[in-house]
Amino acid sequence: MSQGIGVVGLYVRDQDEALEFYVEKLGFRVHTDAQNGGFRWLTVQHPEQPSLQLGLFTPQAPVLDEATAQTMSEAVAKGAMPPLVLNVDDCRAAYERMRAQGVEFTQAPEERYGNVDANFRDPSGNGWKMIESRRTQ
């Protein structure tokens, strides 16, 4: 596939912490980790989704002014950023594995409408819903 969404970015409070979380605890891989002056371009990918990169960026100058960076940091920490969805084959197994790694779950797996889902947050406050994907194909 040559067309489509390439990178979706998240704001995180600390890129080292986010890298450790997404790689060590969630099993993502590093795609690009490039330092350019005071700015670090850091993206990770899901191992089964090589066409999409998840950017882990800090709200900071010079991209944002100080006041806006502060506002964005507050929004992330308050859990006010848009929700993210992670599809998994087995929600309960993923929950057990991730919880053992110290992932902060805000909802244990629950079944509704025949699907199982759970909620967790990354260290910065970004909220993920983990959904056991219903195989329709």
Partner 1 sequence: MDPELLRRLLRAKDQMDAASHETWPVCRLARVSHVSEAHFARSFKQAFGLPPHRYLLTRRLERAKALLRDTTMPILDIALQTGWNSLGTFGRVFRDVNGTSPSDWRAHEHAGRHDLERVPHCFVSAAYRPGLTSAVSEKRRRERPAKKEPSHKPEVV
Interacting residue ranges for partner 1, rule: CB under 8 A:
13, 73-74, 76-79, 83, 85, 104, 106-107, 112-113, 117, 119, 121, 124-125, 129, 131
- The whole-angstrom separation of Cα 91 and Cα 111 is 10
Query: Minimum CB separation from partner 1 for residue 122, in Å?
Result: 11
Nearer to partner 1, 12 or 53 (CB): 12
Nearer to partner 1, 55 or 127 (CB): 127
Question: Quick check: helix, strand or coil at residue 135?
Answer: coil
Query: Minimum CB separation from partner 1 for residue 43, in Å?
Result: 23
Say whether the peptide bond before residue 62 is cis (omega within 30 degrees of 0): yes
Nearer to partner 1, 97 or 121 (CB): 121
Nearer to partner 1, 22 or 128 (CB): 128
Give which of 120, 114, 37, 51 is closest to 79, Cα–Cα: 120
Cβ within 8 Å of residue 8, ≥6 positions away: 52, 53, 54, 55
- The whole-angstrom separation of Cα 127 and Cα 84 is 6
Query: Minimum CB separation from partner 1 for residue 9, in Å?
Result: 18
